Structure 1
């Protein structure tokens, strides 16, 4: 896929992801606002019902007190006068007053009456004349219209809290609350719920006047606030929040892996093209050399010259060997990459590390004669035995030396040292090459990876060398790492277990 198409697709997917997240955020914000409005409405209705209950209870108390006042004795009763009641149980209850002038009856239905020495849950029906009714109503209204400090004595904090709990529960409001009753006349709280913050109460918008139906305005106001309101509202949307976060996370994760797949596919395509170009060049060079040598051997004059025949025959043999190594390198890499090299069989034997390094250096003798570079060894002890595949170990050090020669802008100077650290053999291969940028160090052991900065891209290779080295070293139970500075050189450090540490 072309780079431009990948960028366009990535841009569209990113915009779509942010668009979905923005829409979801807007919907959640709108839902939260709706929940808050619903909460405010339910609280307002609950406060109105509470104040209404308080006023009815206060009105009933006034009526009952007047009706059963010892000083109030009706002037006369008829034959049927007196109390007629029906006893139901022994619980206390509220009051509801009904006056019917047309039937000359005054009915009182009593509930929650603690002051009267009469059975609760009873219904009294009393026949009174119009004069008595008018006097009674007049006295009751006088008390109801009066505004005095006695109201505070009638307010019961525990009862008010129970009223609030009942009404909030009916309104599906299940969260902690604090309340207080403020007397605006002298700007003080009559009482507050234990633990309530008066500052928060004064700031609260949840309030309702007490006894609003009096002729003279009541100075008392009920105030409520909810300390955990925001958390309660969010909790009511918790399922939506969790599902939204989950779905957006899944989309973002899929998007990330999709983009990563595109980028990786793009890199693999570039690596594949680079590999094909380099392998083609690697094959083309020996094939061309063999072709030229074969044509020369077919010349009659050259065929008579035994010395020249041997020379060109040797060239053909060397180039043929070069092709063989290249093919083996590709096949070996494919085998090593499969299942992390677990299916690759090494022929491990007891081998001295100095023999491995000396054999590796010998393989460069021909190049040392024709090319300008040097290989120095220091501190290579004899008799340090490891268990490994000599052929592949020689190739590991050979790849490091070959890279040190190719990736160098100066006359290559290569140094190899061997030391021992406990039960491990430490081999260091140092060069004065162009070095490796810090950003590339973690990638150089990836299969087919080749650094593409400076003049390195002009160096032919297949990107298999360091990947091969890493896998072979790890299959021997060792580790390989690199220390490098651009334009100063690199040092590859290989750690291998010696035979004494192996069971």
Structure 2
């Protein structure tokens, strides 16, 4: 329903915009036609006065030719006196309320031969153009002339103040509508994301809670009857699911703190190699359960960085969690550490489904989750990589991704060493 109403509103505004454009164009054409009529009447009166001044009232002047939107050519073909032309031109323009600056060009008998040309500004008199007036025109030679108004278009538009004001008001209304539409679409998208997030949170938290509940009930029911191997197995389930639950809750809370700028880091000297080994030990059981492998090559000889050990371990765990979830078959994950000139590079690579290049720029956006064909195949909040990026940035580090579809992904983290 929202899409239908939005589409109808957009179509209505588009129709109004088209109508506004048509109305404005029509109004401009009317104004231009009125100006052309005034000029034609003034020039007709001018040619009649010129012929009378020359004592020739029987000749017929050909129709005025509009060479351009603002240029009017008179095929006069009679001898002209500049002083008489200048005087009668001003007189007739004043009589017909034409007060725009204009250019006057007089042509000789041969086509295209300019005998005299000048620019007449608003309010100028014949004295202002004495130099042109002193140039004698050839006597008894047929002449034509053309009058051009350089500021015609600007004058017409300037006279359409009501239409311009209405167009500005309409554009403002259109801009406000566009802003509201964009905002509504964002709100709708956020509402959908919020709903999906709540559903995902409910599902993700229910799973470890259910597993913990089942394992604890089995332990309670088998107290004194269960062998040590089975007890350890269920205890490990409770431990791993509890750790998973804690990580999920912590991820949501820490991301919220990052968004508010309230994240407090407790930085100490941390040995990255040692921290990676600890994370791998805790994560190894999960990979082995899927019959996968998790290998590490800790080649950094200067592994100490100034960082918050808790958050650093969390981002390693988050990247390993992604590598595991997005490996549809047996996970094959490799984590390496190497030194650069001034820091340490930690790389976590997998051989999973990979990420398309066209969506790689979105993966760090909050709530974004790359499609996997069936979005329900891989569960999550869409906060993992957002959290990772913010923690890396809070440590003045860098994160990059190299990935190809069906060839896996490789995340690289860089931190300066102590």
Normalised-by-shorter TM-score class: 0.7 to 0.9
Match among 294, 298, 302 for residue 223 of structure 2: 302
Question: Which is higher, the Rg of structure 1 or of structure 2?
Answer: 1
Match among 190, 195, 216 for residue 273 of structure 1: 195
Corresponding residue of 1:160 = 85
Compare 304-313 and 290-299 and name the one that shifted more: 304-313
Following the alignment from structure 1 to structure 2, what is the Cα–Cα distance between the partners of residues 241 and 418? 69
TM-score by length of 1: 0.65
Question: Residue 277 of structure 1: CA displacement?
Answer: 2.3
Following the alignment from structure 1 to structure 2, what is the Cα–Cα distance between the partners of residues 423 and 242? 62
Following the alignment from structure 1 to structure 2, what is the Cα–Cα distance between the partners of residues 465 and 236? 59
What aligned pairs does 1:138-177 form with structure 2 within 5 A after superposition?
155-165=80-90, 167-168=92-93, 171-177=97-103
What aligned pairs does 1:126-137 form with structure 2 within 5 A after superposition?
none
Following the alignment from structure 1 to structure 2, what is the Cα–Cα distance between the partners of residues 474 and 355? 22
Corresponding residue of 1:138 = none
Question: Residue 228 of structure 1: CA displacement?
Answer: 3.5
Question: Residue 145 of structure 1: CA displacement?
Answer: 7.6
- The C-alpha deviation readout for 1:438-474, integer Å capped at 9, x for no partner, is 2321221111221233245312212111111011111
Question: Residue 220 of structure 1: CA displacement?
Answer: 6.9
| Inter-CA distance 377–314: structure 2 relative to 1 (3 Å threshold) | closer
Residue aligned with 1:364, SS: helix
Match among 26, 29, 33 for residue 33 of structure 1: 29
Match among 9, 14, 20 for residue 18 of structure 1: 14
Give aligned pairs, total.
379
Following the alignment from structure 1 to structure 2, what is the Cα–Cα distance between the partners of residues 288 and 181? 100
Following the alignment from structure 1 to structure 2, what is the Cα–Cα distance between the partners of residues 325 and 55? 101
Following the alignment from structure 2 to structure 1, what is the Cα–Cα distance between the partners of residues 14 and 342? 56
- The C-alpha deviation readout for 1:279-321, integer Å capped at 9, x for no partner, is 222222222223323433443x634558466665554454334
Question: Residue 475 of structure 1: CA displacement?
Answer: 0.9
Following the alignment from structure 1 to structure 2, what is the Cα–Cα distance between the partners of residues 190 and 395? 87
Q: Does 1:285 align with 2:207?
A: yes
Whether the 8 Å CA contact 2:354–2:406 is kept in 1: the answer is yes
Question: Residue 378 of structure 1: CA displacement?
Answer: 3.3
Q: Does 1:389 align with 2:308?
A: yes
Question: Residue 485 of structure 1: CA displacement?
Answer: 1.1
Following the alignment from structure 1 to structure 2, what is the Cα–Cα distance between the partners of residues 288 and 145? 111
Question: Residue 260 of structure 1: CA displacement?
Answer: 3.0
Residue aligned with 1:436, SS: coil
- The C-alpha deviation readout for 1:324-373, integer Å capped at 9, x for no partner, is 332222211221222xxx22111111223323322222221322443322
Match among 244, 253, 264 for residue 345 of structure 1: 264
| Inter-CA distance 245–476: structure 2 relative to 1 (3 Å threshold) | farther
Question: Residue 247 of structure 1: CA displacement?
Answer: 4.2
| Inter-CA distance 230–19: structure 2 relative to 1 (3 Å threshold) | farther
Following the alignment from structure 2 to structure 1, what is the Cα–Cα distance between the partners of residues 284 and 194? 33
What aligned pairs does 1:63-212 form with structure 2 within 5 A after superposition?
155-165=80-90, 167-168=92-93, 171-180=97-106, 192-194=115-117
Let me know the Cα RMSD of the aligned residues. Answer: 3.6
Whether the 8 Å CA contact 2:363–2:370 is kept in 1: the answer is yes
Corresponding residue of 2:398 = 479
Following the alignment from structure 1 to structure 2, what is the Cα–Cα distance between the partners of residues 409 and 367? 14
Corresponding residue of 2:65 = none
Following the alignment from structure 2 to structure 1, what is the Cα–Cα distance between the partners of residues 359 and 56? 90
Whether the 8 Å CA contact 1:35–1:233 is kept in 2: the answer is no
Corresponding residue of 1:400 = 319
Question: Residue 265 of structure 1: CA displacement?
Answer: 3.1
Whether the 8 Å CA contact 2:270–2:306 is kept in 1: the answer is yes
Residue aligned with 1:19, SS: helix
Match among 409, 413, 422 for residue 332 of structure 2: 413
Residue aligned with 1:168, SS: helix
Question: Residue 248 of structure 1: CA displacement?
Answer: 4.9
Question: Residue 162 of structure 1: CA displacement?
Answer: 4.8
Residue aligned with 1:452, SS: coil
TM-score by length of 2: 0.77
Segments of 5+ residues of structure 1 without an aligned counterpart are: 60-142, 197-218
Whether the 8 Å CA contact 1:13–1:255 is kept in 2: the answer is no
Segments of 5+ residues of structure 2 without an aligned counterpart are: 60-76, 120-140
Whether the 8 Å CA contact 1:433–1:490 is kept in 2: the answer is yes
What aligned pairs does 1:243-254 form with structure 2 within 5 A after superposition?
243=165, 246-254=168-176
Whether the 8 Å CA contact 1:357–1:394 is kept in 2: the answer is yes
Following the alignment from structure 2 to structure 1, what is the Cα–Cα distance between the partners of residues 94 and 397? 70
